[in-house]
Amino acid sequence: MWQPFLPIAKQALTDPREAATTLMSMGVPREALWPAFGLFVVLSALLGASSEMLRPPVQGIALAPLPFAGVSAIAGAASVFAIWKVGEAMEGTGSFQETLLLMVFLQGILFIGQIIEFVVWIIAPPIASLMSVALLVLAFWLNLNFIAALHGFPSLLRAFGCLLLASAGVALVLIVALTVFGISMVDMAANA
């Protein structure tokens, strides 16, 4: 089932815009996307819980796996919607289904990176810290290129504008979601 996506994942590391175009042309049905989205939310929550059990306690707030999965699902769904709608407002051509496909694919790539980071952390924690930074940079780069391909933007600058506005919207949604789970931004700042 996952085999057709592996070459595209490799291509995404060298030519992310072309990989996104290839992925969108595959005709992946919407019915397959929501379960994949849910799967990555659950797997990320489990990986996060495993990391928390093995790592020494740090200051700050760590969500239990279930609330973490809930907040991740809300943030992910809000991201998909925001990138689609903001891009549409900027005269982009991407559809909701294509946005969901690219964001699920991005989460899959990042999840593989997080697994590698987790294994490296067990062996050499300082290197894992560098990997965390590298994963953030990779996520940003892939996201920009995926948004540009999705909406047919000629430049990454326009994709950056879309990502920036969408991120602001998602941040507002997250503040509400964290409040629903009983965590205020003041608590997070006080415990950081």
Structure confidence by residue, pLDDT tens digits, 60-115:
555 566 767 777 788 888 999 999 999 999 999 999 999 999 999 999 998 999 89
Stated pTM of the model? 0.83
Instruction: Please choose, from the candidates 38, 170, 49, the residue with its C-alpha nearest in 3D space to the C-alpha of residue 178.
Output: 170
The pLDDT value recorded for residue 54 is 65
**What is residue 36's three-state secondary structure?**
helix
Tokens read off for 73: 């699902």
Check whether 174 has a pLDDT greater than 60: yes
The pLDDT value recorded for residue 185 is 45
pLDDT digits (tens, 9 = 90+) for 17-55: 999 999 999 988 888 899 998 898 888 878 877 776 666
Check whether 191 has a pLDDT greater than 50: no
Give the relative orientation of helices 96-123 and 65-89 as an angle to the nearest 10 degrees. 140
pLDDT digits (tens, 9 = 90+) for 118-145: 888 888 888 888 888 999 999 999 999 9
Which one has a higher pLDDT value, 179 or 190?
179
Percent of the chain with pLDDT over 70: 84
Residue type, position 58, single letter: V
The pLDDT value recorded for residue 70 is 76
Check whether 187 has a pLDDT greater than 50: no
Give the number of other Cβ atoms within 10 Å of residue 84's Cβ: 24
| Helix residue ranges, H only, the chain | 5-14, 16-24, 30-54, 65-89, 96-123, 125-151, 156-180, 185-191
Which one has a higher pLDDT value, 2 or 93?
93
The pLDDT value recorded for residue 122 is 86
How big is the CA angle at 178 (ends 125 and 111), to the nearest 5 degrees?
40
Q: Report residue 26: phi and psi, to 5°.
A: -80, -15
